[in-house]
A and B are shown apart, each in its own frame.
Chain A
Amino acid sequence: MPDYLETTVDKFIFRVATDRLYSPEGVWALADGDRIRVGMTDFLQQLNGDVAFAEVKPEGTAVAAGDEVAVIETIKANVEVPSPVGGTVAEVNPAMESSPEAINQDPHGEGWLVVIEASDWPTDRDALLDPQAYFDLMKSQAEEEAKKL
C-alpha cells in the first residue's frame, strides 16, 4: 500500500501515490526493473467521471512514449491515454475487459491499465515528474477545473 500526498479542492479529494512517477497528462508509471506498470491518476479519473469501457492496446503492441496506449470511455468523454514510456505492451489488466470501473474504484492499484516492457526506461524516466512535482501540477489543474464549476 503506497503512501499518498493528498489535497482537497472544492469538495473533491485527490491523492497522489508517492511510489511512482507521473506524466503531466496524468498517467502514472510504476517501475519494476524495466517492466513499467501504467495507469490513470486519481485526478484524471475523477476529472472524467465514471468509466464505461476501456480499450487497451493488446499485448505485443509497440508504443513510443506519448503514443496512445488506451482509450477510456467515460460518461463525460473519450480519454486517450498516452504511454509515459516507450516499449512493448507485455501485459494487459484483464479487469479492463470485465470491470473497467476499477479505474474509478482503485486508480493506483487494481485499476492499472498495462505493463510495458520498456526499451529505454532511463531516458523516459527523466522526462517524468516525481510525486511532489506532479502533486503541485495536479493541484493547480484541479483548482482551474474548480473555477469552471
Chain B
Amino acid sequence: MTPSERKVLVVPCSGIGKTYGTVSREAAYEVTEDLRPGTTGLVALSLLVLGDEDARAAVRAHPAVTIDGCKLACAAKMVHESGGHVAQGIAVLDVYRRNRELKPQGIAELNEGGILLAHAVAEEITAVVDDVLAGEEGSTHA
C-alpha cells in the first residue's frame, strides 16, 4: 500500500481470547476481504504495539477506522500514539446495545449471534469507509 492510494485502514483490537475481540477481528476481515477489498487495508494492532515501522507509516498515511471490544479502546489509542488519524472509532459494545438480539458467544468460533454482530459492525465500518472516501468524514469518538 502506498501513501498515494486512497484507502481507509481498519484496525481491530487484538482481544485474543475474548468474545468481543473476536467480533472486532471478524468484522475487520469481512470489510477488508469481502465488502471493500479494494479501498481498505487491515493493520494488525500487534504491529502498532511493537512499533513496526511499516504499520506506523501506513496509519500516518491513511485515515483509520478502529474497532474496539472494550472501553480500554486499545486500537484507537495505538493509532493515535502511532501518529495516525482515527476517522471513526467503533465500539463493538455500542453496536451490540443497538442489536440486543445478536448476543455474541464463543471465542475461537462465534455463535450465530456473534457472526451476525460482526456483520453489523462490518456494515457500520463500510458506511464510514464510504463516507471517508467520499470526503465526508465520520466523527471520532475514541
Distance from A107 Cβ to chain B, minimum over Cβ atoms (Å) = 14
Q: What residues of chain B have their CB less than 8 Å away from a CB belonging to chain A?
A: 18-20, 69-71, 93, 96-97, 100
A53 near B: Cβ within 8 Å? yes
In the assembled complex, the CB of A75 is this many whole angstroms from the nearest CB of chain B, namely 5
A residues in contact with B69, CB < 8 Å = 75
Q: In the complex the two chains form, what is the Cα distance from A134 to B93 in whole Å?
A: 31
Q: How far is the CB of B52 from chain A (nearest CB, A)?
A: 25
B97 touches A52 (CB 8 A): yes
User: Which chain A residue has the least Cβ–Cβ distance from B92?
Assistant: A75
Contact partners of A52 in chain B: CB under 8 A: 93, 96-97
A71–chain B nearest beta-carbon distance, Å: 13
Q: When A75-B19, A75-B20, A75-B69 are in contact, do A50 and B100 touch as well, CB less than 8 Å?
A: no
Residues of chain B within 8 A (CB-CB) of A83 are none
Output the residue of A52, A53, A75 with the most chain B CB within 10 A.
A75
The one of B19, B71, B100 in contact with A53, judged by C-beta atoms closer than 8 angstroms, is B100
Known contacts A75-B19, A75-B20, A50 near B97 by CB under 8 Å? no
* A53 proximity list for chain B (CB < 8 A): 97, 100
Question: CA–CA, A75 to B69, complex, Å?
Answer: 9
Q: Is the CB of B70 within 8 A of A75?
A: yes
The count of chain A contact residues (Cβ–Cβ below 8 Å) is: 6
Q: Which 5 A-B pairs have the closest CB atoms?
A: A75-B20, A50-B71, A50-B70, A50-B93, A52-B96
**Inter-chain contact A104/B71, CB cutoff 8 Å:** yes
Nearest CB of B to A70, in Å: 17
Give the interface of A toward B (CB within 8 A): 49-50, 52-53, 75, 104
CA separation between A59 and B135, bound complex, in Å? 50
A94 to nearest B CB, angstroms?
16
Q: In the complex the two chains form, what is the Cα distance from A54 to B18 in whole Å?
A: 21
CA gap between A87 and B20 in the complex, in Å: 37
Q: How far is the CB of A86 from chain B (nearest CB, A)?
A: 31
Q: Using CB atoms, name the residue of chain B closest to A105.
A: B71
Q: Tell me the complex Cα distance, A49–B71, Å.
A: 9
Chain B residues whose CB sits within 8 angstroms of the CB of A104 once the complex forms: 71
CA–CA, A52 and B96, complex, Å: 8
CB nearest to B70 among chain A residues = A50
With both beta carbons as reference points, the residue of chain B lying nearest to A53 in the complex is identified as B100
Report the minimal beta-carbon distance from B101 to chain A, rounded to whole angstroms.
Answer: 12
What would 16 A/B residue contacts be, using CB atoms closer than 8 Å? A49-B70, A50-B70, A50-B71, A50-B93, A52-B93, A52-B96, A52-B97, A53-B97, A53-B100, A75-B18, A75-B19, A75-B20, A75-B69, A75-B70, A75-B93, A104-B71
Chain A residue at minimal CB-CB distance from B96:
A52
A95 to B18, CA, bound (A): 27
